[in-house]
């Protein structure tokens, strides 16, 4: 019995001395666990003759204590060993970075380009009055032209409480159907020369499909001064389109109709082998200038309104406008 115990001790202590601290748990189970050889031998000591029992018992307990001590020392080396394993040359983890929404990227790009041409940025509210969104833009109530803008109307009680218009009548509130009301707001507050753009969110009450969203983004432009003509309009549009979509893109003005411009045009672009309709524009209608307290016999100007969603779709070959507001990260992470 004594020999067995001594041999166990020799084997155990040499193994523990050369062991990796990471194996502490394994060794502790092997030498001190319930099913360990030592435990097994200690169990047999009870059956030994009396004179051997005392000696073997003492030796067994000594070995058990010693092993526990050596194993504790091994355990203490554990944390230190981990520190030594730290490798400062391993590259760090990359925290996931956020990014700007593709529509924000296009907007920022357009703003930068227009700023370069001397335009500044104006702003207006998303909840507008019927006056600014329609009437003062030469789109009177019951006029068939209104059918072009399917409208989200707000409850009249809200309008009557907060929005008495100039003539004392209550004007109704709506979600602006285009950014054009910013023209009215700006003209009322500023004298020419005026040179602004107004990017922002717009709303239409219409069924959604791949090319229609009830929430979308426009960028309005307005330039007013003495002697402004269609030639100025064409030059600005041309510059911007070529900058944003590529210098090979051709543009043309096609006669069209908007109540707030006369004459009015659609800008078409020759893009990847097709003529595509890009945006509306025209010379600001004299009535609209008057509504903005600007004398149409002294000043003239042009205006335009482009769809930020549409330009972004063309730029990146996106075929469904609904992706923009879908919150789909697979889509958004492509930009
Ligand atoms: N507001 C028009 C729309 O949303 C777009 C537009 C056309 C704006 C012609 C203009 C313009 O300023 O001159 O359909």
Q: Nearest C-alpha to atom 10 of ligand 1 is from which residue?
A: 304
Calculate mean pLDDT across residues 160-175: 62
Ligand 1 centroid, distance to 219 Cα (angstroms): 9
Q: At what angle do helices 24-32 and 50-85 cross, to 10 degrees?
A: 180
Q: Nearest C-alpha to atom 13 of ligand 1 is from which residue?
A: 281
| Token pair for 158 | 């809200």
**pLDDT score of 270 more than 90:** yes
Q: Which of 114, 136, 146, 178 to mutate to test the pocket of ligand 1 (most atoms within 8 A of CB)?
A: 178
The DSSP string of 211-253 is: TB-SEEEEEEEEEEETT--HHHHHHHHHHHHHHHH-TT-EEEE
Atom of ligand 1 nearest to the CA of 218: 4
Q: Nearest C-alpha to atom 4 of ligand 1 is from which residue?
A: 178
Distance (Å, whole) CA 12 – CA 28: 10
Give the model's pLDDT for residue 158: 46
Q: Nearest C-alpha to atom 8 of ligand 1 is from which residue?
A: 305
Ligand 1 centroid, distance to 303 Cα (angstroms): 8
Give the model's pLDDT for residue 165: 52
Residue whose entry in the numeric block shows the structure tokens 């523990």 = 16
Ligand 1 centroid, distance to 90 Cα (angstroms): 56
- Spell out the residues 6+ positions from residue 89 whose beta carbon is closer than 8 angstroms to its own: none
Query: What's the mean per-residue pLDDT of the chain?
Result: 90
Atom of ligand 1 nearest to the CA of 180: 1
Cβ atoms of 261 and 283 closer than 8 Å: yes
Give the model's pLDDT for residue 159: 45
- The pLDDT tens digits for 85-126 are 788 888 888 888 889 999 999 999 999 999 999 999 999 999
Distance (Å, whole) CA 224 – CA 228: 7
262 labelled binding-site residue: yes
Q: At what angle do helices 308-316 and 102-116 cross, to 10 degrees?
A: 100
Give the model's pLDDT for residue 195: 98
**pLDDT score of 155 more than 80:** no
- The pLDDT tens digits for 30-49 are 988 889 988 888 888 888 88
The DSSP string of 262-302 is: EEEEEEEEEETTEEEEEEEEEEEPHHHHHHTT--TTT-EEE
Cβ atoms of 105 and 180 closer than 8 Å: no
Taking residue 296's Cβ as centre, other Cβ atoms within 10 Å add up to 16
Ligand 1 centroid, distance to 180 Cα (angstroms): 6
Ligand 1 centroid, distance to 57 Cα (angstroms): 101
Percent of the chain at pLDDT exceeding 90: 61
Q: Which of 183, 280, 307 to mutate to test the pocket of ligand 1 (most atoms within 8 A of CB)?
A: 280
Domain boundaries, the chain: 2-76, 102-332
Ligand 1 centroid, distance to 74 Cα (angstroms): 79
Atom of ligand 1 nearest to the CA of 183: 12
The binding-site residues of ligand 1, defined as CB within 6 angstroms of any ligand atom, are: 178, 180, 220, 258, 261, 280-282, 303-305
Domain 102-332 listed as CATH 3.30.930.10: yes
Give the model's pLDDT for residue 115: 98
Distance (Å, whole) CA 3 – CA 1: 5
pLDDT band at 260 (very low <50, low <70, confident <90, very high): very high
Nearest to 141 by CA among 169, 105, 102, 111: 169
């Amino acid at each position: 019995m004594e020999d067995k115990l001594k041999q166990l001790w020799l084997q155990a202590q040499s193994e523990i001395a050369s062991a990796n601290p990471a194996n502490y748990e394994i060794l502790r189970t092997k030498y001190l666990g319930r099913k360990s050889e030592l435990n097994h031998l200690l169990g047999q000591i009870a059956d030994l003759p009396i004179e051997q029992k005392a000696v073997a018992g003492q030796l067994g307990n000594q070995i058990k204590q010693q092993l526990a001590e050596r194993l504790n020392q091994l355990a203490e080396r554990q944390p230190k060993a981990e520190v030594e394993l730290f490798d400062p040359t391993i590259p760090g983890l990359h925290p996931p970075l956020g990014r700007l929404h593709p529509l924000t990227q296009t907007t920022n790009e357009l703003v930068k380009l227009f700023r370069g041409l001397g335009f500044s940025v104006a702003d207006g509210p998303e909840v507008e009055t019927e006056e600014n969104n329609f009437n003062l833009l030469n789109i009177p109530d019951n006029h068939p032209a209104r059918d072009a803008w399917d409208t989200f109307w707000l409850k009249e009680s809200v309008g009557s409480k907060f929005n008495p218009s100039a003539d004392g009548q209550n004007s109704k509130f709506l979600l602006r159907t285009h950014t054009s009301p910013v023209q009215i707001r700006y003209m009322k507050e500023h004298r020419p020369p005026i040179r602004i753009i107004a990017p922002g969110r717009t709303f239409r009450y219409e069924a959604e499909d791949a090319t229609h969203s009830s929430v979308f983004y426009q960028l309005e432009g307005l330039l007013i001064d003495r002697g402004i003509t269609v030639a100025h309009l064409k030059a600005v549009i041309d510059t911007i389109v070529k900058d944003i979509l590529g210098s090979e893109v051709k543009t043309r003005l096609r006669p069209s109709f908007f109540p707030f411009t006369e004459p009015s045009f659609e800008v078409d672009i020759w893009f990847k082998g097709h003529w595509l309709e890009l945006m509306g524009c025209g010379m600001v209608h004299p009535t609209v200038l008057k509504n903005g307290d600007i004398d149409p016999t002294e000043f003239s100007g042009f205006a335009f309104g482009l769809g930020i969603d549409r330009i972004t779709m063309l730029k990146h070959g996106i075929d469904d406008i609904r992706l923009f507001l879908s919150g789909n990260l697979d889509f958004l992470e492509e930009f």
